[in-house]
Amino acid sequence: MSSATIKKLEKNFMIVLLVVGGIIISIPFMWMILSSFKPLNEAVQMPPTFLPQNPTFENYINLFTNLNFGIYLRNTLIIVFFSFIGLIFNGMAGYAFAKYQFKGRKVIFYTILATMMIPGQVTMIPVYLILNQMGLTNTMTGIVLPGLAVAFSIFLFRQFMQTIPDDLIEAARLDGAGEYYIFFKLIIPIAKPVFAVQAILTFIAAWNSFLWPLIIASDQRLYTLSVGLALLEGQHSSNFALQMAGAAFMVVPIVIIFAFFQKYIIEGFTMSGLK
């Protein structure tokens, strides 16, 4: 065999490996989707059916009529909305660290980086106590506030904004533009790529938020989709078809967003300058 054929064979072998591995990786997703359209007795039937024999939307309808998934969805979207405001805060901070000289810049920046090292388990109890002291437990504000500022996001914004030329900002200043005007009208449009990546990551994080709503919300009115799904899992522990519909309702939107933006999401992680 010539080396070219060996190379081709090798590549085909790699593709086969990739496909087999990919199918194994996707089994949980496929099973979730398929089971969510089966009536309960079919979902737990042994041997299982592959495609739903009597496809039904009953499980999905159930989520909204008998369970409170409508409210959970609304709460989750509120969290998403506020996390976008947090994103602007992070962008502002990243800009200041990248483009201003000021007293304490280094110290404050390293302090912010250091907060990334603190595990969530250490802060969750005192944050709960602090919010309790402020009377914010079991409120939407209490759920949203702790997650607004994200150190890693500030870091990424700073990295990107350092590449914006100083001359550009100076020129705007000479033209008489104010500092806020410069940030909102000049910097944000230039930094669109990093804002886009951060917006997608922020959306995913907020959509998936679990621990804070779980701790802060004692009232079902404030549950997010994740917390509601965990509750569903506990209360309807044998209704697997319903559970799969709940899971699919959480996963599918993210999968769709991911399919559209996958290039940006994946590059977002490599943007942090990792070799």
Strands, E, within 149-213: which ranges? none
The answer to whether 14 contacts another protein (rule: CB under 8 A) is yes
The answer to whether 170 contacts another protein (rule: CB under 8 A) is no
Task: Name which of residues 97 to 156 contact another protein (CB under 8 A).
Answer: 97, 100, 102-103, 105, 108, 111-112, 115, 118-130, 132, 145-146, 148-149, 151, 154
Which range binds another protein by CB under 8 A, 59-67, 164-172, 190-198, 244-252?
A: 244-252
Q: Exposed (0-12), middle (13-18) or buried (19+): which is 188, by Cβ within 10 Å?
A: middle
The answer to whether 202 contacts another protein (rule: CB under 8 A) is no
The answer to whether 185 contacts another protein (rule: CB under 8 A) is no
Name the residue nearer to another protein (CB basis): 57 or 100: 100
**Amino acid letter for position 219:** D
Q: How many residues bind another protein (CB under 8 A)?
A: 92
Tokens of 157: 């914004």
The answer to whether 20 contacts another protein (rule: CB under 8 A) is no
CA distances from 147 to 11, 212, 263 (A): 45, 8, 26
The answer to whether 269 contacts another protein (rule: CB under 8 A) is yes
The answer to whether 4 contacts another protein (rule: CB under 8 A) is no
Q: How far apart are CA 256 and CA 140, in angstroms?
A: 27
Q: How far apart are CA 154 and CA 141, in angstroms?
A: 22
Would you call the peptide bond into 47 cis, given omega within 30 degrees of 0 as the criterion? yes
The answer to whether 190 contacts another protein (rule: CB under 8 A) is no
Name the residue nearer to another protein (CB basis): 78 or 265: 265
